[in-house]
Amino acid sequence: MSTKLGSVLAVAALSISTAMADVPNVAVDIAPVHSLVARVMQGVGTPDLIIRSGASPHHYSLRPSEAKALQDANVVIWMGEGLTPWMEDAVATLSSEALTMSLLKKEETALLEFRESALFEEHNHDDHNDDKHEKRGHDEHDDHSDKDHDETEEHGHDEHAHGTYDPHAWLSPENAKIWLNLIAAQLSTVDPENAGTYFTNAAIALTETDTLMTEVSAMLEPIRGTRFIVFHDAYQYFETVFDFPASGAISLGDATDPSPARITKIQDRIKDQGVQCVLAEPQFKKGLVATVLEGTDAKTSIIDPLGVALEPGPTLYPQLIRNMAKTLVDCF
């Protein structure tokens, strides 16, 4: 090899090494958000996924490699303490130079309050303050009956212990579209040289998400008007965007098992309204679903709001939303 050629190769290798070194280390909490970040970073770098597939984001112990990825991150993008309360302390210990973004705390994110009844239509969001970011005061509960108060107490301190708002906001593709640009802006702050790529990827992904929403709406069209029950109340963002409401939830959260009274209410709802589908989830007890189904003709299927069976990466998010619709269609 000539000296001149060797010098050229050395310079090229150094340039590539420098370019790679400039790409920020990005850590993301859950697979659906990781997918959005990976899509925005496509062609530049790959973010680290902190919470492995199949694990509950609400309660999680980091593996050493995951803890290191979090500590080494220049940018941390996470849902927020409403979904991953244990992560708040870890984020607080990051370098002062690290940028963090909690998507649930961004003003642009459309948030929905937790529903307070196993039978969803009993809880009317129109009665709430129009400002979706304002928490409800205790005075608003004064006119509830004792029975309603008991049910609220049952989940208020256990199942929904992490805030007023439902943290499953990634199940709204409308939120995903908003987050794509927020992610691009955050990455561009630490990596301005690749800002053009980040924003171009975000714009293309936004168009792809619009197409996805049209596709999913068409998938659901033949089964509109059917009734289904979910395992726990995590799907109202999906329900709202696609105007496909559930009839109730076996459990309002995942921190505690539903009471016998709630199970009876759900069984009555299935019989009274002819509910045809009860959806289970990969992480939760199948026995509870079997109990609810006793004495009914309803079918059951497994819906996955986190993409447990999917390969992490830029295609996970659209496939997750598509799979949820397919699960619903196949259950009827």
pLDDT in tens, 121-176: 644 444 444 444 443 333 333 344 444 434 443 444 344 445 689 999 999 999 99
Which domains does the chain possess?
Answer: 22-106+169-213 (3.40.50.1980), 120-164+222-331 (3.40.50.1980)
Task: Classify residue 185 as exposed, middle or buried by CB count within 10 Å of its CB (0-12, 13-18, 19+).
Answer: middle
Instruction: Please give the C-alpha separations between residue 332 and each of 73, 103, 211, 307, in angstroms, as whole numbers.
Output: 45, 34, 24, 22
Secondary structure letter of residue 131 according to DSSP: -
d(CA 153, CA 131): 24
At 16-58, the pLDDT tens digits run 443 445 899 999 999 999 999 999 999 999 999 999 887 889 8
Find where tokens 């009993």 sit: 122
* Of 140, 110, 107, residue with least CA distance to 123: 140
* Span 271-316, pLDDT tens digits: 988 999 999 988 776 778 888 888 888 999 999 999 999 999 999 9
Sheet strand arrangement including 48-49: 48-49, 26-28, 75-78, 99-102
Model pTM?
0.82
| 245 pLDDT above the threshold of 90 | yes
